Chain A
C-alpha cells in the first residue's frame, strides 16, 4: 500500500508542476486535463483505500519514506500515517478537490476578462490557477497523511502559501492584495503559536514522530513548566498548538482573514476556505487527541473559543449583502461548531461534521459561484431575486445545501450538528454550559441567515438590471455536474456515515478519548438506527429552533419582502446599535488595523528612521560595505601577477607554518 499512498500524494504534485511550469506550452486544455488527471488518480486511489478500510479491514500504515536529516537524535523525516481518521480526510479532500477542478473549467473559462487588457501577469492565468489548486491538493494531503510534526508543519505552511497565492490570484486588484496580506499576517500569528508548540514537543519528547510522542505523553501528564507562573506541560503544548489551529481554522479572534479571503476566485473559496484547508485546525486537534485528553484546561479553552466563534460570527452573516461573504460567515460559524466538538472531546462528531460540512459548504460556494457567473460577477444579493426561474439546477442544489446547513432532519448537517450539540450538553468541563447555550442559539441564527440568503437570491422580485436579466442562463455542465454530485452527498452522507463514525468503533485506533470525557456515550446508548435518530431529532428543541428560524426568515425575506423590498434595510436601521456592531464586525478589523497595524507601523517607523537608516544602513551596512570594498581592493592588489612574488608568498607561508608548529 505504500506505493498507493505515495501515488496519492504525488499525482497532484506532478499535475501542478506540469500545469505550472509548462502551462504556456501545453495550453489550457492540456493544463486542465493533466491536473484533473492527477487529482482523479489521487481521488480514485483514496476511495479505493477507504473501501479497503471499510470492507477489508485494512490495517493502519505508519512508515517512513525518507529521512531528511538527523539532528541531536531528532529524526526529521517524510512519512505517512494512514489510519481511519486519515483515510476519511483523504477521501473528502480529494473528492471535493476533484469536483472543484471540474467546476473550475467552467468558472475560469473566460478569466482573461478579469485582468486588465494586455496585462503581462494575466497570461496563462487559467493554467496557473489549475497548477495552484493541484498544488494545494498535494499540500493538504501531505498535511493529513503526515506521521510526524515536521511534515505536519510543512503541509500546514504549504497550504497557507497556496491559500495566500489564490486569495491574491487577481493580483491587479488592490482589495485582493490587501486580503491576501491580511490572511498571511493573521496566519503568522497563529503559526507562531503552532511552531512554539512543536518546539515544546521536540524539547520535551526529543522526537517528532506522532507515535513516539503519543506513546510517551502520559509520562508528562503531571509535568509543570515554569512559564506564566507555572502551567502543566500538556496544557502549554495543547494551547500553543491550538493557537495555530485558531489561525488556520479562523477562530475568534484570528477569524478576521476568512471573510476577506472571498476576494479569491469562487472555486478556491469552496475548496480551501470552506471544505478543506480551514478544517486543518480541527483535524489537527483530532489527530492530537492523545495530547488534548491530558489537559482539561486546554479542552475548555478550545470549547469556549469554538462556541464563541460559532454564535458571534453567525450573527454577522445576518447583515452581509455579498453572497460569498454570507457563506463565508456561515463557514466561520460552522467551524466554531466543529472546534467546540473537539473541546467537548466529541472528536468523532467534529470530524463527522467536518466531512458533511465539506460537502454542503463546497456545494453552497459552488452554487454561489454559479449564481455569480450568471450575474456577470455581481455578488450583491440586493441585486438578485427570483433566480430560480433562470437557474433551476443551481436553485435546487442550493436549496439542498441550505437545508443541510440548517440541520433539516434527514440531510447531512442534521446528523452531525445534533450530535455536536448533544455532546456539548453532556460535557462536564468548565465552560460547557456556556458553549451549550451559545450553540443552541446559533441554530436559530444559522437558519435565519441561510434562508435570508436563499430567499433573497432565489425568490421574491427580480431586482437585477435589464442587461443582466437578458443574459441570465444556467451554467454549463462542468459547473452543474459537481453541484449535483455534491448535493447528492449532502443529502445522503449523514445516513451512511453516522453509524460507523459515531456509534461504531471506526476511530478506535486513530482517536483517543478517556472514559471521563466520553460525551458521545449518551448518543451511543440511545441509538437505534439512522431513521430512529432522525425521528428523535424531530422532537428535539434544536429542530424547533431551526424551523422557527426558517419560518421567520421566510416571513421576513420572502413574504414581507415582496410587498416591501426595503424591509432588509429597515430592519437593520431599526435595530440601530446592534446592526452597527455587527456591520463593524464587533470592531475586530478596526481594532487590528489601528492597534496592531498602526502600532507596528509607528514602531517600524522609529526603527526605520533611527535604527535602520542611521545605525544599520549608515554605520553597519554602508560602513562595512565601504571597509570591505577597501579591503577587497587591497587584497586584489596583493595579486601582482609576478611569478616570484607568488613563489615568495608560498615560501613565507611555509616558513610561517614551520616556525609556528615545529619551532614553537
Chain B
C-alpha cells in the first residue's frame, strides 16, 4: 500500500465519518462545522487525484465563503431541536430498512465488480508541466463555453430570486429615514402648540379616550 493510498483511505474515512456527524448532530452549528470538515477532506481527495485547482477552489469558495454564510444564518435561526427529534425514532425502522437496502444495492453495483481496476486502470500520473488550471480554463472556455454561460444565467436567476423573495419595504417598521426627516417644513409637519381656554366640561373617562384618539 503506497502512501497515496493510505492518504486516500484516511481522507475518505474522515469524509464519511464527518458526513455522518452532519446529519446526526442535534446542534445545527455543530452540523455546519462538521460539514466544513467533510468539504476539506473532499478537497484533499481531489488534490490526491491531481485536480489541484478544484481542491483549492472547494476550500476557498465553499469553506471560506459559503459555509461561513451558512454559519451566520444558522446562528440567527432559533431552531427547535426537540420537535425535530420527535419523529426520528418513529420512522427509524422504515428509514433504516430502506437505507440498508439501498446501501446494499449501491455497494453491489458501484463496488469493484463494475468499477474495479480491471475495468478502470489508473491513468498514468501527469507530468510536472501539466497545468491543471490552464487545462481547465481552456476546456471551460472552448468546449464547454455554452454550459458556462448557462451557469452564469443560473446565478443571475438565483440573485434575482433571492432579492425578490427577501428585499421588501415593510410597512410596519418604525425606522426613520433621516433624509425625509431633514426635509420637514414648518407649518404642516411640525407640532404646533395652541393655547386653549381652561373652561370646559368636567373630564370624564369618555372624553379622555376621545381626546387620545384624535389625530395629532
Contact = CB atoms under 8 A, between A and B. Distances in A.
Given A648-B94, A648-B95, A658 B102 contact: yes
A631 interface: no
Interface string A636-664: 00000000100010011011001100110
5 contacts: A644-B91, A648-B94, A648-B98, A655-B98, A658-B102
A658 B104 CA distance: 11
A30 B105 CA distance: 76
| 5 interchain residue pairs of minimum CB distance | A658-B105, A655-B101, A655-B102, A655-B98, A651-B98
Interface string A523-556: 0000000000000000000000000000000000
Given A659-B105, A662-B109, A663-B105, A644 B87 contact: yes
Interface in B92-129: 94-95, 98, 101-102, 105, 108-109
Contacts, number: 22
A27 B17 CA distance: 84
Contacts of A654: 102
A662 B91 CA distance: 26
A663 B109 CA distance: 9
A604 B94 CA distance: 57
Interface of A: 644, 648, 651-652, 654-655, 658-659, 662-663
Contact of A648 (B91, B108, B109): B91
Interface majority SS on A: helix, strand, loop or mixed? helix
Contacts of B98: 648, 651-652, 655
A652 B96 CA distance: 12
Contacts of A652: 98
A640 to B, nearest CB: 12
A565 to B, nearest CB: 95
Contacts of B102: 651, 654-655, 658
Nearest to A658: B105
Interface in B20-42: none
Interface in B56-106: 87, 91, 94-95, 98, 101-102, 105
A124 to B, nearest CB: 52
B187 to A, nearest CB: 57
A663 B91 CA distance: 25
Contacts of A648: 91, 94-95, 98
Contacts of A658: 102, 105
* Most A Cβ at <10 Å: residue of B91, B98, B108: B98
Contacts of B91: 644, 648
A662 B95 contact: no
A663 to B, nearest CB: 6
Contacts of B101: 655, 659
A655 B100 CA distance: 10
Interface in B116-156: none
A131 B102 CA distance: 68
Contacts of B94: 648
Given A648-B98, A659-B105, 18 more contacts: A644-B87, A644-B91, A648-B94, A648-B95, A651-B98, A651-B102, A652-B98, A654-B102, A655-B98, A655-B101, A655-B102, A655-B105, A658-B105, A659-B101, A662-B105, A662-B109, A663-B105, A663-B108
Nearest to A645: B91
Contacts of B108: 663
Contacts of B105: 655, 658-659, 662-663
Contacts of A644: 87, 91
A659 B91 CA distance: 21
A651 B108 CA distance: 18
A636 B108 CA distance: 37
A662 B105 CA distance: 8
A658 B105 CA distance: 8
A643 to B, nearest CB: 11
Contacts of A655: 98, 101-102, 105
Contacts of A659: 101, 105
Contacts of B95: 648
Nearest to B109: A662
A652 B108 CA distance: 18
